[in-house]
Amino acid sequence: MKIVWGVSILSILCLTIFPYPCIASSSPEVSITISSSEEPTLSEQEIEPIDPVTTTEPRTDSRPESAIPIRFDEGPTRVAIANVPPAPLEAEEEIGTIPDPIEPVNRAFFTFNDRLYFWVLKPVASGYKAVAPEVVRVSVRNFFSHLTTPVRLVNCLFQADVKCAGIETARFFLNTAIGFAGFFDSAKTGFNLEKQDRDFGQTLGIWGMGPVFYIDLPILGPSSLRDGLGYAVDVSFDPRTYLAIYFVAVGYVNTGGWVLDKVNEASLSLGEYEDLKKAALDPYIALREAYHQHRQSKIRK
Residues that bind other proteins (CB under 8 A): 36-39, 41-43, 45, 48-49, 51, 53-54, 57-61, 65, 74, 78, 90, 92-93, 95, 97, 134, 138, 141, 185, 188-189, 194, 268, 275, 278-282, 285-286, 289-290, 293-294, 296-298
- Give the shortest CB-68-to-other proteins separation in angstroms: 16
3-state helix, strand, coil in the chain (%, to 5): 65, 5, 35
* Per-residue buried b or exposed e for 114-147, using 16+ beta carbons within 10 Å of the residue's own CB: beebeeebbeebeebbeeeeeeebebbbbbbbbb
- Strand intervals (E) in the chain: 214-217, 221-224
Residues 132, 124: Cα–Cα separation, whole Å: 12
- Give the shortest CB-134-to-other proteins separation in angstroms: 7
Is 11 or 196 the residue whose CB approaches other proteins more closely?
196
- Give the shortest CB-290-to-other proteins separation in angstroms: 5
The neighbour count for residue 93, using CB atoms within 10 Å, is 13
Is 152 or 240 the residue whose CB approaches other proteins more closely?
152
Is 146 or 240 the residue whose CB approaches other proteins more closely?
146
Is 15 or 285 the residue whose CB approaches other proteins more closely?
285
DSSP letter string over 264-282?
HHHHHSTTHHHHHHHH-SS
- Give the shortest CB-211-to-other proteins separation in angstroms: 14
Is 195 or 251 the residue whose CB approaches other proteins more closely?
195
- Give the shortest CB-249-to-other proteins separation in angstroms: 32
- Give the shortest CB-72-to-other proteins separation in angstroms: 14
Under 8 Å between Cβ of 87 and 40: yes
Of 23, 25, 237, nearest to 149 by C-alpha is 237
